[in-house]
Amino acid sequence: MSWIAGSFLVLGAALLAGFVWYERTHPSTRVLALVATLAAMAALGRVAFAALPNVKPTTDIVLIAGYVLGGAPGFMVGAVAALASNLFFGQGPWTPWQMAAWGGVGLAGAVLARVAGRHLGRVPLAIACALAGLGFGAIMNLSTWITYSGDHTTAKLAATFATSLPFDIAHATGNVLFCLAFGPALVRALHRYRTRFEITWIDHPSSPSVRVPTS
């Protein structure tokens, strides 16, 4: 089995597992709508900044989605954003790699919330977005090496990383600037939405006709 065929089998299995995981969480219609909205925002952000190579708010939006909403929604936002935005940029063998890479960014956001809590300051969050951009770039560099290098030597892998370094730095820098501009505001907005999702109504014990919220 070739490197390319093997990599696409792994990618397909990973993406399928992510979609099944999300489906098994039984998201409510409100969560579905929010995930779709964030995926559309991430895709449109990529298209809107098409003139600036690698400078996009997409990675920030995906990371923050996972950071606030959790791993499964974060994965879906990233995977769907990649697929949707490539309707503009063009589909190809890079699409499943981008879906997996941005889906991984959403998962990383959920891990960040578990490790550091959901109340990071502006600067730490911006640093996390920069690292997510570098991680995304590393995965795409690996995809280029596997898909197009031919003999898959370490020299070609090193050359691929070296050639893409300016673009990866631009991606990380753009992520920092975008996060400093809107990151905390998006986190607060999503926190408010998440709080509303977690509110349930129960009958007040003193009166069956009275209902009170609880979270």
Q: Residue 203 falls within a domain, yes or no?
A: no
Q: Residue 36 falls within a domain, yes or no?
A: yes
Q: What is the pLDDT of residue 148?
A: 87
Q: Averaged over 27-33, what is the pLDDT?
A: 91
pLDDT over 70 (residue 199): no
Instruction: Answer yes or no: are the C-beta atoms of 78 and 105 closer than 8 Å.
Output: yes
pLDDT over 70 (residue 206): no
Q: How many Cβ atoms are within 10 Å of 80's Cβ, its own excluded? A: 22
- Residue 211 binned pLDDT confidence (cut-offs 50, 70, 90): low
Helices assigned H by DSSP within the chain: 3-24, 29-48, 58-69, 71-89, 94-116, 122-148, 154-198
Q: Averaged over 152-180, what is the pLDDT?
A: 95
116-145 burial code (b ≥16 CB/10 A, e <16) = eeeebeeeebbbbbbbbbebbbebbbbbbb
Q: Residue 209 falls within a domain, yes or no?
A: no
Q: What is the pLDDT of residue 42?
A: 97
- Residue 56 gets the label, from left (phi > 0), alpha (psi -120 to 50) or beta, of beta
Q: Averaged over 16-39, what is the pLDDT?
A: 93
pLDDT single digits (tens) 86-127: 999 999 999 999 999 999 999 999 999 999 998 899 999 999
Within 13 Å and on the Cβ side, how many CA atoms surround 181? Answer: 10
Q: What is the pLDDT of residue 67?
A: 97
Q: What is the pLDDT of residue 44?
A: 96
Q: Residue 212 falls within a domain, yes or no?
A: no
Instruction: Provide the domain limits for residue 109.
Output: 3-198
Q: What is the pLDDT of residue 6?
A: 82
Q: Which amino acid is at 183?
A: G
**Based on the structure, what is the number of domains in the chain?**
1
% the chain with pLDDT above 70: 91
pTM score, whole prediction = 0.89
Q: What is the pLDDT of residue 108?
A: 97
- Find the CATH number of the domain harbouring 188: 1.10.1760.20
Q: Averaged over 188-200, what is the pLDDT?
A: 81
Q: Residue 97 falls within a domain, yes or no?
A: yes
- Average predicted confidence (pLDDT) for the chain: 90
